[in-house]
Amino acid sequence: MKPRHKGFTLWFTGLPSAGKSTLANLVAQEFRARGIGFEVLDGDVVRTHLCKGLGFSKEDRDENIRRIGFVCGMLSRHGVAAIAAAISPYRAIRDEVRAAIPHFVEIYVRASVETCTQRDVKGLYKKALAGEIKNFTGVSDPYEPPLNPELTVNTESESPAESAARIMSKLESLGYLEGTEAAYTAEEEARIHERLVRLGYLDS
């Protein structure tokens, strides 16, 4: 059960609606295409499995992040690419998780509160701004940006595909993609798929 590749943890941090989950899933597609074993630990999803009952106080947020970090560390020790997408607003806890995981790549997903508010389909920012939600990161709760992330992606000026490509390049330069090669990029695959559908070879 020895892994073929070095495991690592790819940690997305940023405001709600900054684009963390979108990027996590795009990168996961790239990993799939290269045959890299991965798991996505999405903050929202994980709250129903690992972190049921935890709220949004500083203590609960810290516990949430520690728990995600614990699982990511375990997975990456066994050659898995663990992808965490969680607001993880506090620098100290992110750094605590980093210290516990030998191969830790932090991606700061940057976007302004204004942009995030516009994107937010659930209208949570508006509710928070109206005082209806307490402890909402970026509005009524702090967000501490990383000081030395491995990479910052600016989702206001870059498209998701551009950001994902920059993340893959970073992983490549850090040596985490050695020995893996995608036949096609996710974008190319999507185009090929689309064409096959158009030609009637595939249903959808």
Give me the active site residues, please. 88
Minimum Å distance from CB 46 to a copy of itself? 9
Q: Nearest-CA neighbor of 179 among 45, 1, 5?
A: 5
What is the helix (H) or strand (E) element at residue 64, kind and residue range? Answer: helix 58-77
β-partners of residue 36 are none
Nearest-approach distance from CB 157 to a copy of itself, in angstroms:
32
CA distances from 195 to 11, 160, 204 (A): 34, 22, 10
Task: Check binding of 36 to a copy of itself (CB under 8 A).
Answer: yes
**Using CB under 8 A, which of the segments 14-22, 61-69, 165-173, 194-202 binds a copy of itself?**
61-69
Nearest Cα residue to 154 out of 110, 96, 199:
110
CB atoms within 10 A of CB 179: 10
State yes or no: residue 119 binds a copy of itself (CB under 8 A): no
- Between residue 62 and residue 91, which ones bind a copy of itself under the rule CB under 8 A? 63, 66-67, 70-71, 74-75, 77-81
Smallest gap, in angstroms, from Cβ of residue 173 to a copy of itself? 19
Residue 78: phi and psi, rounded to 5, are: -105, 25
Number of residues that bind a copy of itself (CB under 8 A): 29
Interface residues toward a copy of itself, by CB under 8 A: 1-5, 7, 35-39, 49-50, 52-54, 63, 66-67, 70-71, 74-75, 77-81, 180
